[in-house]
């Protein structure tokens, strides 16, 4: 199946060059250890199910609201849109960072999405596919920029030989649960192109998730707020659910 780029579905391209800007904090072992704790905190559940209401806001335009469900199992993620009517039934299946498929009910077919659009807006939102990452350590090394008794700030820069979507990420995380409260994303020129705020954390056992998360595209003054409506942890999910064949059902 050939890779395709779907016009109208992916917007807001971010700078592609990934050169570490000057002045970045040097990586150190303490930073990498904290980053490992942040990654671990995001990946304790075997499965998760979410229902979200997403509100997109842009200057000069009325807010638009989208409903969606998200199922996660390991590295696999299945997103299904439930509203508005023109998006209802649209499904996006992520099998790996380089393998993503979309099902559009109007066409009744599954299409593979080119990996080159991973850094672009996901279905009209300011979030891109790359922004849904749940593990930073494979591509970034971290340094502790500052800390106090409640939180720690990390500066992430690409590991040698890696080309992640951002040239630098600053993460502020709590020290009690190592969950991120703020993430600032930078391009190769050192510009803070996106900022994400995560609030209202709650936990089921040792698995925690924010009730709300808002991504702002600082280059366009646009934002998407994801409000969690339903959250289920470690419920049984068949592997067959995360397949191209299941997308058409």
Q: Which domains does the chain have, with CATH numbers?
A: 20-233 (2.50.20.10)
pTM: predicted TM-score of the whole model, two decimal places: 0.84
The answer to whether residues 76 and 242 touch, using CB atoms and an 8 Å cutoff, is yes
CA distances from 52 to 13, 61, 76, 116, 138 (A): 24, 22, 18, 26, 28
Residue 249: per-residue pLDDT = 77
Residue 85: per-residue pLDDT = 94
Residue 5: per-residue pLDDT = 34
Give which of 140, 184, 191, 194 is closest to 163, Cα–Cα: 140
d(CA 94, CA 113): 10
Residue 134: per-residue pLDDT = 87
- Per the prediction, the chain carries an average pLDDT of 87
- pLDDT < 50 regions, the chain: 1-26, 116, 118-119
The answer to whether residues 237 and 77 touch, using CB atoms and an 8 Å cutoff, is no
């Amino acid at each position: 199946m050939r890779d395709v780029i779907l016009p109208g579905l992916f917007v807001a391209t971010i700078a592609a060059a990934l050169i570490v800007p000057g002045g970045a904090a040097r990586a150190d072992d303490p930073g990498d250890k904290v980053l490992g704790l942040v990654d671990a905190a995001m990946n304790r559940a075997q499965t998760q199910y979410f229902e979200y209401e997403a509100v997109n806001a842009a200057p000069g335009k009325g807010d638009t609201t989208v409903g969606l469900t998200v199922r996660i199992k390991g590295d696999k993620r299945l997103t299904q849109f439930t509203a508005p009517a023109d998006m209802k039934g649209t499904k996006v299946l992520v099998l790996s960072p380089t393998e993503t498929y979309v099902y559009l009910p109007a066409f009744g077919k599954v299409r593979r999405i080119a990996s080159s659009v991973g850094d672009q807006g996901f279905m009209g939102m300011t979030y891109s596919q790359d922004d849904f990452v749940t593990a930073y350590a494979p591509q970034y090394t971290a340094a502790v920029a500052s800390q106090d008794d409640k939180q720690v700030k990390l500066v992430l820069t690409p590991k040698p030989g890696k080309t992640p979507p951002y040239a630098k990420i600053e993460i502020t995380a709590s020290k009690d649960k190592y969950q991120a409260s703020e993430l600032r994303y930078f391009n190769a020129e050192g510009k803070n192109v996106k900022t994400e705020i995560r609030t209202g954390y709650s936990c089921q056992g040792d698995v925690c998730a924010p009730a709300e998360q808002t991504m702002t595209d600082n280059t366009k003054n646009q934002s998407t707020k994801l409000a969690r409506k339903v959250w289920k942890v470690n419920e049984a999910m068949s592997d067959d659910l995360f397949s191209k064949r299941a997308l058409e059902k």
